[in-house]
Amino acid sequence: MLRAQSPNVLTTASKQSAALFSEEMLTRKKFPEDLARSNADEEEPILKPSPKRFVLFPIKYNEAEASFWTTEEVDLSNDQKDWNNKLTEDERYFISHVLAFFSSSDGIVNENLVERFSNDVQIPEARCFYGFQIMIENIHSEMYSLLIDTYIKEPAQREYLFDAIETISCIRKKAEWAFCWISSGKSFAERLIAFAAIEGIFFSGSFASIFWLKKRGLMPGLTFSNELISRDEGLHCDFACLLFSLLKNRPSNATATRIITEAVAIEKEFITEALPVGLIGMNATLMCQYIEFVADRLLVSLGMPKSYYAENPFDFMDLISLQGKTNFFEKRVSDYQRAGVMNKDPAEKGFTLEADF
């Protein structure tokens, strides 16, 4: 049974947006006056304007398009029972604060895409992907607003969570790091690494904690939406790594590793100290190891050597990363794709001037 959107969501979501870009935060994220590109950026083919930038063959965009979903497809009707009857007070506290971080983070990612990356990158395929990413991040933000609106019935507590960047210090710290990179005069390559870290590392501990609930058979709507969103963020991170591979001037391994390890330190503090996973029965040491494992995987995807050499301590995350398979009781799996979008014969994906339209 799918539910209609609560009218409260529109009100709280709009207030959330206002809080997200409050006067203080907007002042922090304003760009430096000398936003002239660095010499390295001037030499990058993907950043150079071209008369050919208005035609495209967007393969990665098609992958994102094939995985499109909407909030109406997530059934939250059974979650309220688990929230009220099966979760402890500590578990409710943990989940609500994770959702508070998520509900703000997608707006920050979109701010970077709109203000910086979509203007920086000139190749049409990348702009096409970014346009779709902006839309899907909006769906993520709507989903998190609906989750908070469904679980949290006290209006004052809801407002507190929607205003998380201003009201919750550990979330504000992550947001400030991201805003610094939005307004940074650093090279495109360094900023690309930073936002790959935001989507690949800053979300990793929270995603794993929600999948932990799935392992316990709790909160089916929350965990299903988490599968959909984590898959989307994985694709966004993969795209960042693909763009990075096309750059001529890349930062040194030391610079890239420094950016990644900064993100790791912030995420470890967030998920083990400020919002300890012990609240839901997870092991904090293993969670730190998992974050290091995710960071190593990102470094390798960027063509860099590992920094931590950590192994994945969570077997359930290995299972999540496999191709999802439905069972008799599931309506579908989260790696579903829109019918026909990616089922074309490889030969049909070739460029031709003889096609019938």
Put simply, whether the predicted model's pTM sits higher than 0.95 gets the answer no
d(CA 306, CA 103): 31
pLDDT per position as a tens digit, 153-184: 999 999 999 999 999 988 999 999 999 999 99
In this prediction, residues 12-38 reach a mean pLDDT of 47
Q: Which two tokens stand for residue 282?
A: 């997870």
DSSP 97-139: HHHHHHHHHHHHHHHHIIIIIHHH---HHHHHHHHHHHHHHHH
Question: Tokens 């984590």 belong to which residue?
Answer: 230
Instruction: Give SS3 for 346.
Output: helix
In this prediction, residues 62-72 reach a mean pLDDT of 88
d(CA 200, CA 108): 14
Question: Tokens 């090279």 belong to which residue?
Answer: 187
Strands (DSSP E) found in 4-104: none
Which pLDDT score is estimated for 31?
46
Domain 79-318 superfamily per CATH: Ribonucleotide Reductase, subunit A (1.10.620.20)
Cα–Cα separations (whole angstroms), residue 215 to 223, 282, 323: 9, 12, 17
Which pLDDT score is estimated for 46?
72
Contact 34, 185 (CB under 8 A): yes
Cα–Cα separations (whole angstroms), residue 332 to 63, 74, 326: 18, 11, 6
Nearest to 221 by CA among 71, 75, 5, 2: 75
Strands (DSSP E) found in the chain: none
What positions carry a catalytic annotation? 144
Cα–Cα separations (whole angstroms), residue 48 to 41, 42, 120, 128, 277: 9, 7, 8, 16, 45
Burial of 88: CB neighbours in 10 Å, binned 0-12, 13-18, 19+:
exposed
Q: Which two tokens stand for residue 31?
A: 């760009």
Which pLDDT score is estimated for 76?
95
Domain coordinates in residue numbering, the chain: 79-318
